[in-house]
Amino acid sequence: MTLVSLLAGACASQPAIVASAPPPAVAAEAGPQTHNGDYWLYASAEGSVATRQAYKALVDYAVAAAKNRPQSSVILEAGANPTGSDPVSFVPCGNKPLAAVFDADETLIWNIPPRRDNVFHNDSKFDAKVWDAWERTGAGHAPAIPGAAEAMAALRAAGITPIANTNRTAAHAAGAEATLKAAGLGDFVHGETLFLSGDDTLKGNKDGRRATIASLYCVIAMAGDQLGDFSNAFNDASLTAAQRRAAATAGPASALWGRGWFLLPNPSYGPWDSKLKFDDVYGTDPWVPTEGVK
């Protein structure tokens, strides 16, 4: 029997099996079990409740604030340092139109496909080439974060303009506009309601873009998943994790959380990740389980 006839015979003897066989298991669908942050954020009920809760609080706050024409934006004036000990000041509103400012990634939209690629093909690390392609071609593949689309609609209905200030690159402005639009978040227009890295010379430092936005609008609410979405001072590399945490929770701008500044949960990635060490997380308390433990 030749090889050809052997194969033909094999095929002829198992046509039903071939036709009815389930698709081969894709190992990627099982996924590694080591990314609790991703699991919680992108798929858990708790994660979706947390984002909806944050957006509900933001809209309630902003709509109420809009009725009283606040005198100041929630954007810090140049030189104001929320990680220092001096009081901070905010950009005056004047008669500027009302706006709310949002980070985009893991604030307005979730970037699940590139994260999935990182997990399976880059040891879970960020891959700049994958991200570049995602910025250009990801429209229609990035879902709006739960609660975000409803919040954008509610803000617009209340006369508050949503503005995105993101570190996606200005070179891919069309991709950013299309991605936000396809997610159901409405229109964000580069240079008007969409501000990108490369719009000024400060790269990933959003302070300059925030100043530009505050010169045009009275910003009554801001949201992001990282502290740099509120002030670049929180990104000071000299701050330890403990100092950064203390500045954010007890510093001169800390009263703004929930009252103008709104943090979206992101246990998947962020600047906190590289600063924290084992003892920062688990401490050094000497307690060990003894009572009732064999």
| Interface with Mg ion (CB under 5 A) | 103, 105-106, 225
Map tokens 């606040």 to a residue: 70
Q: Which is nearer to Mg ion, 105 or 207 (CB)?
A: 105
Question: Which two tokens mark 279?
Answer: 């003892």
Question: Which of 241, 249, 247 lies closest to 277, judged by CA?
Answer: 241
Distance CA 56, CA 258 (A): 11
Q: How far is the CB of 106 from Mg ion (least distance, A)?
A: 4
The Cα angle at residue 204 between residues 98 and 240, in degrees rounded to 5: 105
Question: Which of 150, 164, 193, 160 lies closest to 67, judged by CA?
Answer: 160
Distance CA 50, CA 41 (A): 9
Q: How far is the CB of 288 from Mg ion (least distance, A)?
A: 39
Q: Which is nearer to Mg ion, 177 or 225 (CB)?
A: 225
Task: List, in sequence order, every beta strand (DSSP E) within the chain.
Answer: 72-76, 90-92, 98-102, 161-169, 194-197, 218-224, 261-263
Q: Which is nearer to Mg ion, 83 or 226 (CB)?
A: 226
Q: Which is nearer to Mg ion, 90 or 102 (CB)?
A: 102
Q: How far is the CB of 235 from Mg ion (least distance, A)?
A: 13
Q: How far is the CB of 151 from Mg ion (least distance, A)?
A: 16
Distance CA 17, CA 130 (A): 39
Q: How far is the CB of 225 from Mg ion (least distance, A)?
A: 4
Map tokens 């954008």 to a residue: 152
Residue with smallest beta-carbon separation from Mg ion? 105
φ and ψ at residue 191, rounded to 5 degrees: 90, -15
Q: Which is nearer to Mg ion, 72 or 261 (CB)?
A: 261
Decide if 98 contacts 66 (C-beta within 8 A): yes
Q: How far is the CB of 67 from Mg ion (least distance, A)?
A: 29
Q: How far is the CB of 6 from Mg ion (least distance, A)?
A: 58
Q: Which is nearer to Mg ion, 41 or 65 (CB)?
A: 41
Distance CA 6, CA 25 (A): 27
Q: Which is nearer to Mg ion, 106 or 177 (CB)?
A: 106
